[in-house]
């Protein structure tokens, strides 16, 4: 009897952990304001446990995410633009990620919105 209650408690705790895990996977769209106008950005995230991988699409090409981490509802990763390192830290809320970005220009904030995956043409 105690064994069943203990197993049920463990099972409930594991299920609750999965239920509260944030889902960063997929396509996220944003833009960044520059003196020359808004620049569209598309982030593609893939989560494996606490590891975050993916790319960011820019008008100048794609950049890989580096040192990506997931911790509950928070993410952190780096990208490079030429020799410049850009750090990103964010928090998810529903279909929105508030991202804090540090680069050679200083600090900026960005909002990412979950977007539908685009189907490839055959």
- Residues 32-51: pLDDT tens digits? 887 888 889 999 999 999 99
DSSP state of 32: E
Question: Structure pTM?
Answer: 0.77
CATH class of 23-115: mainly beta
Query: Residue 13 in 3-state DSSP?
Result: helix
- Residues 83-114: pLDDT tens digits? 899 999 999 999 999 999 998 888 989 999 99
Domain ranges of the chain: 23-115
Phi-psi region of 49 (alpha: psi -120 to 50; beta: other; left: phi over 0): left
């Amino acid at each position: 009897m105690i064994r069943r209650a203990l197993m049920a408690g463990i099972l409930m705790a594991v299920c609750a952990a999965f239920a509260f895990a944030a889902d960063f996977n997929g396509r996220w769209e944003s833009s960044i304001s520059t003196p020359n106008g808004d620049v569209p950005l598309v982030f593609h995230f893939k989560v494996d446990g606490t590891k975050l991988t993916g790319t960011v699409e820019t008008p100048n090409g794609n950049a890989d995410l580096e040192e990506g981490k997931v911790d509950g509802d928070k993410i952190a990763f780096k990208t490079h633009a030429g020799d410049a390192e850009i750090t990103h830290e964010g928090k998810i809320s529903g279909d929105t990620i508030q991202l804090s970005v540090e680069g050679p220009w200083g600090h900026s904030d960005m909002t990412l919105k979950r977007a539908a995956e685009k189907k490839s043409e055959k």
